[in-house]
Amino acid sequence: MLIAGNWKMNLLPHEGMLLTHEICEGMKSISPEIEILICPPFTHLAQCSVIIESDDARISLGAQNCDSHEFGAYTGEISPLMLVSMGVEYVIIGHSERRVLFNESNEIIAEKCHVVLEAGMIPIICIGETLEERNAGNFEGIVREQLLGILRNEAILESILNSDIVIAYEPVWAIGTGLAADPDQAENAHKFIRSILNEYLPGQSDMIRILYGGSVKPDNASAYFAMPNIDGALIGGASLNVESFLAIAQSA
């Protein structure tokens, strides 16, 4: 089970440090079988990494995005190699906010996925349909197209065979809205996603963790974790509060 917190563009550095300390402290109540991941803003990563290491805490560190190039004239961007050098192990790729607000296409997301894998990190690839797409009966087509943007790429497929990826199914209508997907509805989506993974990565698809994301809270988390194809959660709002984040992790 992987419990991942996406802090988005929240918390000043001192607040992020405090939250990291509190999570480290709370780790004692979390089973060692549960992997805890925090994804702070870029500006907090180096300090979070020091806290995690000095506490010897079982917490993984992730970034929320990265550029698709290693170095160069890309003002304002962050290289995957810079992230690795700060102890980052995971990178969230293709979050719906990046797709919608920053116009990231399936092609751009595939390029980012490739550089993250090449740099030795694990991409958390976010996919999911909007409410209009679901209401139009187009859920499967959209999710398939988003996944195939990655899986149809030979170079990426090759890298995945020697590495690991995580998929986060995040229906856009459930993100930050309080309208969490029904657990059976989420399980059906995860089953569908796993069947596509199986077409391209037979033998590996059962090991790929598929997280559910979208208004996960302490009072609904355990219903998702009881589902056979749900291997954890990507949590936005509830990851900013130590009690709710740890309560979700405890229910995993």
Looking only at the bridges linking them, the beta strands covering 59-63 and 35-39 are parallel
Reading the block at residue 231, the tokens are 């291997």
CB of 118 to ligand PEP, least distance (A): 25
Count of residues that interact with ligand PEP, criterion CB under 6 A: 13
Contacting ligand PEP within 4-33 (CB under 6 A): 6
DSSP, collapsed to helix, strand or coil, labels residue 59 as strand
SS3 content of the chain, % helix, strand, coil (to 5): 50, 15, 35
35-39 and 166-169 strand pairing: unpaired
Cβ of residue 164: shortest distance to ligand PEP, in angstroms?
A: 20
| CB contact at 8 A, 90 and 28 | no
Q: What is the spatial distance between Cα 227 and Cα 216, in angstroms, rounded to a whole number?
A: 14
Q: Is residue 216 involved in binding ligand PEP (CB under 6 A)?
A: yes
The one catalytic residue among 35, 44, 95, 114: 95
- Cβ at position 39, least distance to ligand PEP in Å: 9
Q: Which is nearer to ligand PEP, 6 or 68 (CB)?
A: 6
Region binding ligand PEP by CB under 6 A among candidate stretches 24-32, 72-80, 131-139, 212-220: 212-220
> Residue 89 and residue 94: Cα distance in Å, rounded?
17
Q: Active-site residue 170, yes or no?
A: yes
Burial class (CB in 10 A: 0-12, 13-18, 19+), 21: middle
Indicate the residue among 117 and 233 with the shorter CB distance to ligand PEP.
Answer: 233
Place of tokens 């751009």: 108
Question: What's the CA gap between 67 and 78, in Å, rounded?
Answer: 6
Q: Is 41 in the site for ligand PEP (CB under 6 A)?
A: no
The answer to whether 40 contacts ligand PEP (rule: CB under 6 A) is no
Residues 226-245 close enough to bind ligand PEP by CB under 6 A = 234-238
Residue 89 annotated in active site: no
User: In terms of Cα–Cα distance, which of 194, 190, 35 is closest to 122?
Assistant: 35
Closest CB to ligand PEP: residue number: 236
For ligand PEP, the closer CB: 66 or 235: 235
Catalytic residue chosen out of the listed positions 97, 170, 187, 190: 170
Residue from 120, 176, 179, 207 binding ligand PEP (CB under 6 A): 176
Could you list the active site residues?
Answer: 95, 170
Q: Write out the residues near ligand PEP by the rule CB under 6 A.
A: 6, 170, 175-176, 213-216, 234-238
